[in-house]
Amino acid sequence: MMNNNYARGRYPPGMGNGWGGGGGGGGTPNHNYQNRNPHYPQLQPPYRQRTAESQPQQWMRRNPSASTVSESANEVEKTVQSEAAGSTSQDWKGRPTIPPPDRRYKTEDVTATKGNEFEDYFLKRELLLGIYEKGFEKPSPIQEESIPIALTGSNILARAKNGTGKTAAFCIPALEKIDSDKNVIQAVILVPTRELALQTSQVCKELGKHLKIQVMVTTGGTSLKDDIMRLYQPVHLLVGTPGRILDLTRKGICNLNECSMLVMDEADKLLSPEFQPSIEQLISFLPPNRQMLMYSATFPVTVKDFKDKYLRKPYIINLMDELTLKGITQYYAFVEERQKVHCLNTLFSKLQINQSIIFCNSVNRVELLAKKITELGYSCFYIHAKMLQDHRNKVFHEFRNGACRNLVCTDLFTRGIDIQAVNVVINFDFPKNSETYLHRVGRSGRFGHLGLAVNLITYEDRFNLYRIEQELGAEIKQIPSHIDHAIYCM
């Protein structure tokens, strides 16, 4: 499906190569963005809200002397002018509670940028504060390509690797375009799983913490009554799974008449037979001039028909010259089925694991393996689709917060789940296709960091291993007796 239109750096007619004056090349970014944007003078930092007009009034109440008032007003005016002259973007960026910079090694999947800054996109100051407090330093390649185009109102079909910043690439423009004074749903983000919905809504809340934007998350398996009650309160941004949002919309509880943006994350999964009918019905409730943004790491042929039907003149972004992730070392260990648990025990004893995710092909095998790992003396959680939603939420939250080192799961956890501490993925059961393999392996080495993937291969898996290597253009090597910690722990 991909063609030459996927070239990176193609901008809509009328746009230059450097968005917002930031420069499209790798030159020095212009930090003096306040002088380029007429709106910024009214967005001065809160610690500079003294004004020359308000200060004399305070002095007048204390001392009615006209000469004193005049002198004080002049002094205040000089002080404010002096402060304004010294106020730069770097000055206010130093004020928020910014986490320490991430000094870990990163691959070119996230470092090969044009040198743009978030300020170059003329975002609201409150949104910029949230971005920097979240720890984002500069836009990643998918963010550089996507954010300015999304802000123009264009439709987007974007393909980028797992763990390269896709979530912020659509959350930032969605938050920027929402008018918090209008108490209507203005943007909907669709995702295929409950865990990804919770994670995405949390990212939106953290990025928009200084905005007055109300974010709601809704998924199947949770209380419909609670969602109905919540929708009677203001909601600007709705994140959820297609079935639940469609159900609420059909009931007349969720009003999408003024929803101008629809985002589809993990779009290939959302266009599978399981979800596509719900997606198409949901689109019928949106205004005809809505903007649609579609993001995924893989786009099967089925996406083309949907794109041709619903996306008018989409801007196409393809940042995937190759499918496999840089920075993730991939090995296989040839074993018999009865040797797998022993092999896993050996890996636990030899590897330097921050956190690991271990994949099985069925629910029963997940529970049995989790029990075995616990018996071996290692901390272990498990999660799968047949668990109660409250239990799933608790496991996901606690694993993400580092309460446990190892998580056993089904492919429920292969879509978009972003846990930075995961540096090892183990395929206890080898997947049947390259798409599933790519999403599983992408759980390690998030945002360009290093990671390790170990595949336990039986005699029956040998043909799948060969086929997946060929389809992905990957080299999955036989596991050595000693694995250098530097290849997945830097």
Tens digit of pLDDT for each residue in 146-202?
A: 999 999 999 999 987 766 788 999 999 999 999 999 999 999 999 998 888 988 999
Average the pLDDT over each of 303-307, 374-378, 402-406, 458-462 and give the range with the smallest value. 303-307
Using alpha carbons, select from 273, 272, 186, 188 the residue that is nearest to residue 236. 186
- Joined together, the tokens standing for residue 214 give 């109300």
Q: For the chain, give the percent of residues with pLDDT over 70.
A: 72
What kind of architecture, by CATH, is found in domain 96-318?
A: 3-Layer(aba) Sandwich (3.40)
CA atoms 220, 226, 230, 232: torsion sign: positive
Cα 475 from chain centroid (whole Å): 28
Per-residue pLDDT, 218:
95
Global confidence as pTM: 0.60
Per-residue pLDDT, 307:
87
Q: For the chain, give the percent of residues with pLDDT over 90.
A: 43
If pLDDT is split at 50, 70 and 90, which confidence band does 59 have? Answer: very low
Q: How many C-beta atoms surround the C-beta of residue 390 within 10 A?
A: 10
Per-residue pLDDT, 396:
84
Higher pLDDT, 27 or 348: 348
**237-240 and 156-159 as β-strands: parallel, antiparallel, unpaired?**
unpaired
If pLDDT is split at 50, 70 and 90, which confidence band does 61 have? Answer: very low
CA atoms within 13 A on the CB side of 285: 23
- Per-residue pLDDT reduced to its tens digit, 340-395: 999 999 999 998 888 899 999 999 999 999 999 999 999 899 998 888 878 888 88
- Per-residue pLDDT reduced to its tens digit, 98-128: 766 665 555 554 555 678 899 999 999 999 9
Q: Are 93 and 117 in contact, with CB atoms under 8 Å apart? A: no
Higher pLDDT, 324 or 482: 482
Q: Is the model's pLDDT at 65 over the cut of 50?
A: no
Per-residue pLDDT, 269:
85
In single-letter form, the type of residue at position 361 comes to: N
If pLDDT is split at 50, 70 and 90, which confidence band does 441 have? Answer: confident
- Joined together, the tokens standing for residue 135 give 């720890």
Q: Is the model's pLDDT at 40 over the cut of 80?
A: no
Strand (E) or helix (H) holding 77: helix 66-86
Which of 65-69, 258-262, 263-267, 355-359 is the most confident on average? 258-262
Higher pLDDT, 95 or 54: 95
Question: Within the chain, what is the greatest distance between any pair of CA atoms?
Answer: 96
What kind of architecture, by CATH, is found in domain 328-478?
A: 3-Layer(aba) Sandwich (3.40)
Alpha-helical runs (H) found in 331-410: 340-350, 363-375, 389-400
If pLDDT is split at 50, 70 and 90, which confidence band does 86 have? Answer: very low
Phi, psi for residue 483 in degrees, rounded to 5: -110, 120
Higher pLDDT, 358 or 45: 358
Cα 34 from chain centroid (whole Å): 28
Per-residue pLDDT, 325:
62
If pLDDT is split at 50, 70 and 90, which confidence band does 57 have? Answer: very low
Q: Where are the domains of the chain?
A: 96-318, 328-478
Per-residue pLDDT, 36:
41
What is the residue-averaged pLDDT of the chain? 78
Per-residue pLDDT, 80:
41
Q: Is the model's pLDDT at 333 over the cut of 70?
A: yes
Under DSSP, is residue 337 helix (H, G, I), strand (E, B) or coil? helix
CA atoms 122, 126, 132, 136: torsion sign: negative
